[in-house]
């Protein structure tokens, strides 16, 4: 499959690697295992890696920087700022609220560069739009970092179309990152068309529905005590039971095609446009290899439509996030 562009400067493999789960959100894993996965990804051609200051906090950036240090010349590293992360005597903590004040943007970028051990962040995202700070002010601070060579390109995460346009008018936005999959299609309303029009790449996170579209999760009991998904409405036991019916249809369709449900779901996302670069997370090398293989699955227009009808948002029980987190998305 041809490489894909994020804005005018970044060209990457069609699938990136979301690194959050290696140390945050889903229980984490041993550092050595995570680094082996990072190295295997590069061997397979993956060259776009996603992290954030809040993952840990901080520990995921350190892990990604350490793991990719010997391969830095082959990869692009994206990180994000915007949540209220503070240092305490007991270590860094993520606290309620957002912070995208210009002076904070600079401070976080400097800290991320040190943790990653790199001289330039290839793609710096605002993790969530801060309603207390005009997007023009935040992007202006990000643009200054580009001028100084500390950041190569900039992006937004979970921003709506109007905010994307306002940001892009200040400085070119290379990519917009939002959740997008068969069971989460909010970006289809306006964001995908806006990105296509403005030449902005679109980076879906959780393109496999936080693992649910793989068919491997059939009960909340499978989730560890520290698994972030325990807080999400869709992963409540009652909703899991209801949502399994749609996934079973996906599994059956995938089996008939000789692929897995995860691969078919990822191939569907990839087929939505050549400006789309999903970043599924993988802690196991076997899953990573399967995701890369999904880039070679051909789909006709009729197949894309048929797969899109197997799992649709109206069939899904439970919201993406609890109420407070939902309010931060899509501004």
Helix (H) or strand (E) holding 79: strand 76-81
Peptide bond into 57 cis (omega under 30): yes
1: confidence class by pLDDT, cuts 50, 70, 90:
low
What's the mean pLDDT in 295-315?
97
Across all residues in the chain, what is the average pLDDT?
Answer: 96
- CA atoms within 13 Å, Cβ hemisphere of 136: 3
Per-residue pLDDT of 18-69, as tens digits, reads: 999 999 999 889 999 999 999 999 999 999 999 999 999 999 999 999 999 9
Helices (H), 85-160: 102-116, 135-147
Task: Give Rg (Cα) of the chain.
Answer: 19
Find the angle CA(234)-CA(232)-CA(223) to the nearest 5 degrees: 90
What's the mean pLDDT in 152-165?
98
pLDDT at 327: 77
Question: Which string of b and e fits 70-89 if b means at least 16 CB within 10 Å?
Answer: eeeeebbbbbbbbbebeeee
The highest-level CATH class for domain 4-328 is alpha beta
What's the mean pLDDT in 218-244?
95
What's the mean pLDDT in 214-231?
94
pLDDT at 19: 98
Per-residue pLDDT of 83-124, as tens digits, reads: 999 888 888 888 889 999 999 999 999 999 999 999 999 999
* Catalytic residue from among 26, 55, 125, 180: 55
**Is 26 labeled as catalytic in the residue annotation?**
no
Question: Domain residue spans in the chain?
Answer: 4-328
């Amino acid at each position: 499959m041809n490489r894909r562009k994020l804005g005018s400067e970044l060209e990457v493999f069609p699938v990136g690697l979301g690194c959050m789960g290696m140390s945050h959100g889903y229980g984490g894993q041993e550092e050595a295992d995570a680094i082996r996965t990072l190295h295997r990804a590069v061997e397979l051609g993956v060259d776009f890696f996603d992290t954030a200051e809040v993952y840990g906090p901080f520990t995921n950036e350190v892990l990604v920087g350490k793991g990719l240090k010997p391969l830095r010349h082959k990869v692009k590293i994206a990180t994000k700022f915007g949540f209220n992360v503070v240092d305490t005597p007991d270590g860094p903590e993520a606290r309620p609220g957002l912070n995208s004040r210009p002076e904070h943007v600079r401070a976080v970028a400097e800290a991320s560069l040190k943790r990653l051990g790199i001289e330039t962040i290839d793609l710096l995202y605002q993790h969530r739009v801060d309603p207390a700070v005009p997007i023009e002010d935040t992007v202006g601070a990000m643009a200054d970092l580009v001028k100084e060579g500390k950041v190569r390109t900039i992006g937004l995460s979970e921003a709506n179309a109007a905010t994307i346009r306002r940001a892009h008018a200040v400085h070119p936005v290379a990519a917009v990152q939002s959740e997008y999959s068969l069971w989460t299609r909010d970006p289809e309303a306006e964001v995908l068309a806006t990105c296509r029009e403005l030449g902005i790449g679109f980076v879906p996170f959780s393109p496999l529905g936080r693992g649910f579209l793989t068919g491997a999760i059939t009960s909340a009991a499978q989730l560890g005590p520290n698994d972030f998904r325990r807080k999400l409405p869709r992963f409540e036991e009652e909703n899991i039971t209801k949502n399994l019916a749609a996934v079973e249809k996906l599994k059956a369709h995938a089996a008939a095609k000789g692929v897995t449900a995860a691969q078919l779901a990822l191939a569907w996302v990839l087929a939505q446009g050549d400006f789309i670069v999903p970043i599924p997370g993988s802690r196991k090398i076997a899953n990573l290899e399967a995701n890369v293989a999904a880039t070679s699955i051909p789909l006709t227009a009729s197949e894309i439509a048929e797969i899109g009808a197997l799992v649709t948002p109206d069939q899904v029980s439970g919201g993406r996030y609890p109420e407070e987190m939902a309010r931060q998305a899509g501004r």
